[in-house]
Structure 1
Amino acid sequence: MSNKITLLIFTIFFSFSVFANFSKAEKEVLIKLNQATNGAKWTNKWDISLPMDKWYGIKIVDDKVVSINLKNNNLTGRIPVEITTLLNLQELNLGTNLLNGEIPLNIGNLKALQVLDLSFNRLTGFIPNSICSLPNLQTLLLDRNILSGELPQQIGKLSMLENLSLYENSFQGSLPLSFYELKSLKLLSLYTNRFTGKLSPSIGNLVLLENLNLFDNDFKGQVPIELEKLTHLKKLNISYNLFSGLVSNKLSLLDKLNMTMRNEIGNVVSLPINKG
């Protein structure tokens, strides 16, 4: 009996010890974030003498950090790589700040992540391939940064993604084939980048799409008639690209600028409408 009691006490002590260490480790990561982004100048500052669940923008569940929302809080500096060790994180919102540097390469470690908002910052570099390893990601907002490069080839693995917003960056290249496997997408905003290539007829696979904005890129070729299959589509803007050829009256009326394009020498033209 005494051995069983001793074992029980040891098990309870060990559990509390691991629990405490885990909590301490997450606290150290948050302090690192605070230091790396000039926490003394934040709009809403942290008093680290208080429990973590009292810190502005931090949500704790079962002593685990599940949400960091420091949007519009005057963060400067770089995103510390240590943030990718918060394995229970479901939301990371650092949008509308003054962050620079690159997106951490191992951002894909955050398997529980559902919302990633790094928009309206000064981030540079490219989208890490590891971001395609986030099976629960529903919202990815990277708009209004200084990001460049091509989209990851395996972006189609983000099967839960509903909102993809990358506008006003310097992304380039054609959309990967896997892109057309994002069948949960409802909002797609890629405007004012340098995307090229043809828009695949497979765009018709994105059956839940409600808002499609490709304005001001260099997409070319025929406007896919398959866009008409998107019965949920309420907003469309694919103007100021290099698309050519006839378009249907239905798509022309849906497009915000009525299919106004640029030709190869930069002149503004309107695509002919097939009214048949």
Structure 2
Amino acid sequence: MRYTYTLFLLLMFSLILKAEVSIAEKNALTQLYNATNGANWTSKWDLKAPVSSWYGVKVQEDKVVSIQLQNNNLVGTLPNSIGDLKSLEFLNLSFNRISGSIPASIGGLSSLKTLSMFMNSLSGNLPSEIGKLSNLEILSLYNNDIDGQIPSSIYELKNLKVLYLNSNKLSGTLNPSISNMVSLQQLSLFDNRMNGLVPFDIAKLNNLKEMNISYNQFSGFVSKDLAKLDVLNMTMINDKGVAQALKVSLNKNTAIVSEE
């Protein structure tokens, strides 16, 4: 009897060791693989092997915490099930050929710290659900075909340090509530279709080090209080090569083209 019980414990222990991720997480990864033509990835997954052995996937405590598939020939769209990866902290799908819109389910990745999908063919509007990612520190979506306005919810990401949305088709104005992004250090919005005034409230971003809003249609004045920010590199050039109607008076070593 004792021998049988010992065998039972050993069997249960071995099953625990083999149990890697939940069915929901494995299904989400499998659907990502199929939706982006995984059979033709540069580094493929063996779907019969343990998830922890899959290229670019990091598993900790039986949960998927990181997906690094940059420059891996992903071609296709993102499945809604990507939002089932609840413990994901890092998602990098940059330098691929992913198209279509970013699914609203991305807002379910409550642990996410880095979202990088630059140099793809993403289109459509930015989902407002990105604003639910309260732990997000890096949002890098440059060089895509994303259009529409920046959702107001994104301006509520108080832990965001890097916001790269340049070289898209974004329109609309820059919301004054950008001042809520108190951790922001780098802001890049150049080469879009944004317009209107540059909010004076940007000067409240005490951690801001770099800002590039060139090649848009911004107009009006820029707050001289920006000069109070430390080591600020700021560039504002319109699509004609000059900072049209932007009146800047700063007494610091900045990278600004201004028209007096």
Instruction: Please indicate, yes or no, whether the TM-score normalized by the shorter chain is above 0.5.
Output: yes
What SS class does the counterpart of residue 161 from structure 1 fall into? coil
C-alpha contact 2:93 2:117 (8 A) present in aligned 1: yes
- Contact 1:261–1:271 (Cα < 8 Å) also in 2: no
Structure 1 residues 22 and 217: alpha-carbon distance in aligned structure 2, compared to 1, 3 A threshold? closer
Match of 1:147 in 2: 122
Q: d(CA) in 2 for partners of 1:147 and 1:24?
A: 29
- Which residue is 1:103 aligned to? 78
C-alpha distance after superposition, 1:205-258 (max 9, x if no partner): 00100000000111111100111011111111011111111113454894543x
Cα RMSD, aligned residues only: 3.7
Return the match for 2:216 from 214, 234, 241. 241
User: Where in structure 2 are the equivalents of 1:1-276 lying within 5 Å?
Assistant: 10=8, 13-14=11-12, 16-17=14-15, 20=18, 33=33, 37-38=38-39, 42=42, 57=56, 59=58, 61=60, 64=62, 88-249=63-224, 251=226, 254=232, 256-257=234-235, 259-262=236-239, 268-273=242-247, 275=249
Q: Partner residue of 1:73?
A: none
SS in 1 for 2:98: coil
Distance, in Å, in 2 between the alignment partners of 1:256 and 1:135 is 32
Q: Scaled by the length of structure 2, what TM-score is found?
A: 0.77
CA contact (8 A) 1:125 1:148 kept: yes
Contact 1:183 1:206 (C-alpha < 8 Å) held by counterparts:
yes
Q: In the alignment, is the contact (CA less than 8 A) between 1:182 and 1:206 conserved in 2?
A: yes
Distance 1:260 1:154, change over 3 A: same
SS of aligned partner of 2:179? helix
Q: Which whole-Å CA distance do the structure 2 matches of 1:46 and 1:111 have between them?
A: 21
Q: Offset at 1:271?
A: 3.1
Residue 38 (structure 1) shift: 3.8
CA displacement at 1:97 relative to structure 2: 2.1
User: How far 1:8 sits from its partner (Å)?
Assistant: 7.7
Rounded Cα–Cα distance in structure 2 between residues aligned with 1:220 and 1:50: 51
Q: Distance in 1 between matches of 2:45 and 2:80?
A: 27
The TM-score, its normalising length taken from structure 1, stands at 0.73
Code of the residue aligned with 1:128 in structure 2: it is P
Percent identity (aligned): 42
CA contact (8 A) 2:184 2:207 kept: yes
**Contact 1:247 1:271 (C-alpha < 8 Å) held by counterparts:** no
In structure 2, what is the equivalent of residue 72 of structure 1? none
SS for the counterpart of 1:216 is coil
Q: 1:157 to 1:52 in 2, by over 3 A?
A: closer
Q: Secondary structure at the match of 1:107?
A: helix
CA distance in 2, matches of 1:24, 1:197: 41
- Count of aligned positions: 242
Does the 8 A contact of 1:142 with 1:166 survive in 2?
yes
Note if contact 1:235-1:254 (Cα within 8 Å) is conserved in structure 2. yes
Q: CA deviation at 1:274?
A: 5.0
Is the contact made by 1:124 and 1:148 (CA closer than 8 Å) also made in structure 2? yes
Q: Secondary structure at the match of 1:191?
A: coil
Letter of the aligned partner of 2:214 in structure 1?
Answer: S
Give CA-to-partner distance per residue, 1:143-196, whole Å, 9 cap, x none: 000000001122210000000000000101111121111111000000010111
SS class of match (1:260):
coil
Does structure 2 conserve the Cα–Cα contact (< 8 Å) formed by 1:249 and 1:273? no
Seen in structure 2, the aligned counterparts of structure 1 residues 101 and 229 have a Cα distance that, compared at 3 Å, is same
